[in-house]
Amino acid sequence: MKKTTKIVLAETVKKLKGKNPYEILGFTPSFVGILKRNRNLLKRLVDLHKAYLLAVIHPDVVKDEDKKIAEELAKIINEAANRINDEFESQELIEQYILSRDLEIKALKEDITNLSEENKRLQRENQRLNNEIRKKSENQVKLIDLILSFIPRSELNKINQNIPCLLIVNRGKFRSIYFVDENRKIYEIVGKSRLVKARLEFHIQQTLERLSDYKKSGKIRLKGVLLGSSKDEYSVSLNNLSFRNYDEIMDFLVKIEANLENKNLIAINYVGFNERTQRYYIVFEVIKIERVIKIKEGYIPV
């Protein structure tokens, strides 16, 4: 036997010494309660079970290394049986044991009641959180609708008369071509991001002629939804701003003009709400344009 096992058995023996004799011999409180009025039958069962247990741990049966533990267990079993057979202790032991069962049942009932109340509380809390999540989700949808409808498409078209259109973006030595469709969505024309100045007009004309083919073949990349233009300068093209409330968002939006006349076009990529910081955020693209070319022909909406 391993040393650890011996320690565990020794601790178990110590714990048994403080138990009710009926529990030591393996009888449950409910079983004793059923037979308490038939004392003779209960006594016979106790004697039989005592004999069985002593036979199992008899020195002739157990291994040499287990004999000491077996001796301790035999003492505890004999002592338990003697106490049960003692006419002065017998009835009191039964009542104590049955009472312990009743107390345990009462404690279990209290636990069940407490758990039931806790379950109701958690359900209420879960409902509250679900309502809060739903409300925030609805607010986010409203926020997105607010931003994307901040400048109505009809108003933007009326002011500029340049949608659909191509945007020529200055990137130093090279140029890029972007396309704004009738839904104010801005697309980058894939493969047209390095246009040499000398052949710029040719590439613009070619793009106009093949724009429908580009859309069908997926050779355009969505950059965002156009809100308008701004006089404000931005150090980077992709920006992420966070706001505590709608008022701060509106302060940002009013700086965006409903036209394409300023050099900085603002296109919204994403709007959301950060649960950790409890702040709204807007990811937007700044496209610094050189020229706006109205599409008169060569583009057929798909």
Q: Which residues, other chains included, contact 11 with Cβ-Cβ below 8 Å and sequence gap of 6+?
A: none
Tokens of 84: 């049960």
**Residue 168: which H helix or E strand, with range?**
strand 165-171
| Cβ pair 256, 150 in contact under 8 A | yes
- Positions in the chain whose pLDDT score sits under 70: 1-15, 17-18, 33-37, 86-91, 93-94, 98-104, 106, 140, 143-144, 146-154, 157-158, 172, 192-194, 196-198, 297-302
Per-residue pLDDT, 2: 47
Per-residue pLDDT, 187: 92
Q: What are phi and psi of 183, to 5 degrees?
A: -100, 15
Per-residue pLDDT, 243: 85
**pLDDT, tens digit, for every residue of 260-280?**
889 999 998 888 877 788 888
| Cβ pair 77, 11 in contact under 8 A | no
Task: Give me the residues paired with residue 195 across strands.
Answer: 175
Q: What are phi and psi of 49, to 5 degrees?
A: -70, -35
DSSP string, 25-72: TT--HHHHHHHTT-HHHHHHHHHHHHHHHHHHT-TTTS-GGGHHHHHH
Per-residue pLDDT, 278: 81
